[in-house]
Structure 1
């Protein structure tokens, strides 16, 4: 255990998060190497009446893994990674990132659904559900869970699986960090590589509509092994991009295929035939693809999201219009198809509502100049306002910040939220773990007089 306090040399580095908008100063950061350290940290918080936040990857856009004046349980030192090729499972510590996970699995040609950038933490991503490039092929990250080890608010160590604490295991399939500090995860794995067909297609804004409509019409009939997202971007000044497109709005398709390279070429061909201005699809190691869209650190972030059961032409037009007005060269507007394995789960197996939604839209505002904050947040909120007529009412919580309790309840539905609240009342009745998309603990009914 390492305690990091405001006067220590590493304090500022230890409290820095992915989102540069967040500048919080905890009283102490407990850098934990195992479950015993977590127990000690939570006991310290109870003794001194400190509020608690839990940090793994630090990618929460709302900064939920950092707190002013409280205690941060930092599990990043928990870096154990163990692969079992025979059982096709992997067990990883609560501080592992998806880049570390994927690079370790690359050697065995095995992976599971991971984050869309390598710096995302396995823990928060998975507990929030876990939508990645290949969720149509493999399901969400939480769908691939075998077990989770937790330390509860009272300091107890528990394991949740299909056979051990199954109700808690259900809650951890999207219920977030409401029930304890996750110290270890075991996942089922899938074959990937050693190389996959992957990369990027790019169109200028004036040629984007036909490509976007064709993508929408094709992707849900395409092989489930095809992970393809539509992304509004600013064309980068790279050699593979025509010079006349540099720095201008463009439409990208980010593509990866989970099967063989030959199968990937065939699945992607209908998209390549749409005459992109740039095409960098090629065989690459899966772990290399996972890092292709990593964002530079130190940027301001504001995200939101919505589910869609359909995405008609009018919705495509809204998407494209906002793709032409990105507030910064790092900003993106993402449209991700759901379906396939992610939609075939038994609705009762996870608390996440509307798993059969066909699309997720995700305005992803990034910028560097604080003076641009109002414009950037206004852009993301404006997209949500103008796309609202085509939304289904659901939301994927990993894609949003603090947007109120109604949005949290919409992610689960009334029945699932009530069930989660009962579990919260059992495992964390004092709401110690409230630095998250918070589920309020249900209180016991008063006894009859």
Structure 2
């Protein structure tokens, strides 16, 4: 029985393994998934986790619960030696060890792109994982609690200032949802005024949301600014030391919360620690049927998909384009990869990956959204409803769909939950201080 090793349990990896469990015959092959986390993050729900509209655990799909026939290894693959059909795994505890395989599926995913901006490594929070989305929400709620005890002034203004760096989908959706949460919170804090909120979105290009055309993107900017936000286009973050933000436009301000959403970079393991072919961007070279290699030089028993693979986009109007790294492609690539792998095991032909976009939809906060499909543009509440409808259908497993719908129904009846649990990031503080003084958020001691 052959061993299929899946590197990464994200979108593409999870759907590959999930589909293989359904397609493989008894004794045909065994499947192993290696991932540092025990769950797949459904990233389109992270902005709603930030806003408290979706519970954090409901945006995380348990691998052990849903991949019941798959062997799961918790750890990070640090090297792929395909010549010897071996990977090196670094577990959370203990020494590295080798895992042998017959067929490898590389779906390790991309990582957050980091730039050498002073202060970012010390102050910023990303928005790629559930833990980060929860931390962003808790940091804002804690800042409101702290600001409500202060008199108007620079310190109170700093606590009520939020900065998002990056105007792609992740940044704009997170920004819009957090702005909606902050606007709703003001009504619960009579000590604070709405005009004290300072929300800044910083984008280096001359527009946000590159996935939509110019006019819808301009409408999103106007919509955010009408809600009190400030969108800085053609602006770069030069410094964020101690939370003091310095922009290339000359503007400066202090910000309690800085969220970094400038896009993805090639996975360092794929880029530097594999003998599989990679391109100039550090992406895995794959064919249209998701085999690693080219039509002239395929790599036997190696497959790839998702954000770390340069998958040819056969639906693009010009040749040579690769699919963009988003959920639509990763999910469908994972399913096709499983089908093609099974077809290969049984001596059948594989199919190329071709997917025509279903359109682009984004949430901009509770009751606000935008949808575009070619020339059709829908704005406001209808687009927001479409966003929720699409993603509740797209999130894997009926169990997750029901949980998310239940939370939405509860929020519709009783409103948002506005309790900060930032103290869980430092669970020993209450024990160490004896309960006399418990700090939270950025001011908590690192014990």
TM-score, normalisation: structure 2: 0.23
Output the TM-score relative to the length of structure 1.
Answer: 0.23
Largest Rg, 1 or 2: 2
Point out the structure with the larger helix share: 2
